[in-house]
Each structure stands twice: as structure tokens, then as C-alpha cells.
Amino acid sequence: MHIVSRRLKAILSSGLTPRKLLATLCIGGALGLMPLVWGTTVLCAVAAYVFRLNQVVLQSVNYLLYPLQLALIIPYCRLGARLFPWGPPFPAEILTYVLHGQGGMIKLFAWATLKAVAAWLLTAPPLALVLYQLFSMKIGGKPPTALEASKDRA
């Protein structure tokens, strides 16, 4: 058992500086909360490739947040409906309508999803950035500059 835990720790931390691990956790956390049940795995894979992050850690955070993601879908839909009042109103029983295949609900569901993603964009990424900055200062003394961040990518 001890050998397995050492191997797992080595795989998860391979090639990661503390800041890169922190960036991986923050990006994975933000993407893991996105109110798109179908797309966060693909988005995490793209983010890991673009920012050269550890795919295993990023996807693990994404999957660990899945229950919270499901719990936040309706609140994000409601917040989106309040922030962006145009389009059809968000009925409380939308999931029931969609699951039972009632006509015309796909358009309503698409509007609700769009508004929920917009609400997510206004909440989760800024929170992830603030957490990254706060924990960055904790582990390194000062927030990273743009030059340090670009060196960390390479």
C-alpha cells in the first residue's frame, strides 16, 4: 500500500511547481463548477493542453466537484435569469419538462443554460483568480508577475 501511495504521489506531482499545481487546482475548480454537465471534461483537457497543466490532477478536481456542479446548476440558472432578464423566463420545473420531453423545452433549456454559463463566467473564474493570487502569495511571498507566469508555462 505504501508503494502505491508513493507512486500515485509521484505521478500527480510530476513536473509541477507549487504555483503550477495551484493553477491546476484553481482552473480545475472553476471549470468543474461550470453548469455544463456534458462539456467540462473536454474543456479541462483543452485547458491542460493550452496551459501545460497536469491532466490527471485537473480531471481529478473536475470529477471531484461533479456533485457540487450538479447542485449549483439550478442556482446558476436562477442567477443568470436575474442578471440577464431577456429571453424566456426560467420556470422552476424546467428539468421536469426536459426529462419528460415536453415540446418547446429545448429552446427554453438552451436559454437557461446560456444564462447559467454567463452567471458562472461572472462568479467562478474571478473567484479562482482571487484564490490563485491569495495562495500564490502564501506559497511564494508575492503574486507572480506576467513574466513569471509565462516562464511557468514553458
- Within 10 angstroms of residue 46's Cβ, the number of other Cβ atoms is 11
Would the CA dihedral through 96, 94, 107, 112 be positive or negative?
Answer: negative
pLDDT top residue among 5 and 136: 136
Which pLDDT score is estimated for 58?
93
Query: Which pTM was predicted?
Result: 0.76
φ, ψ at 93 (rounded to 5°): -100, 30
Which pLDDT score is estimated for 152?
55
Which pLDDT score is estimated for 85?
87
Check pLDDT > 70 for residue 98: no
Query: Domain extents for the chain?
Result: 2-153
Q: pLDDT-based confidence at 8, cuts 50/70/90?
A: low
Q: Are 97 and 108 in contact (CB under 8 A)?
A: yes
For 51, residues 6+ apart whose C-beta sits below 8 A from its C-beta are 23, 27, 153
pLDDT top residue among 120 and 105: 120
Check pLDDT > 90 for residue 89: no
CA–CA dist 91, 88 (Å, integer): 9
Span 109-130, pLDDT tens digits: 788 889 999 999 999 999 999 9
Q: Are 78 and 120 in contact (CB under 8 A)?
A: no
Span 11-68, pLDDT tens digits: 666 667 888 889 999 999 999 999 997 889 999 999 999 999 989 999 999 999 999 9
SS3 1: coil
User: Which of 41-45, 95-99, 130-134 has the least mean pLDDT?
Assistant: 95-99
What average pLDDT does range 129-145 have in this prediction? 81
Q: Of 6-20, 73-87, 139-153, where does the model show the most confidence?
A: 73-87
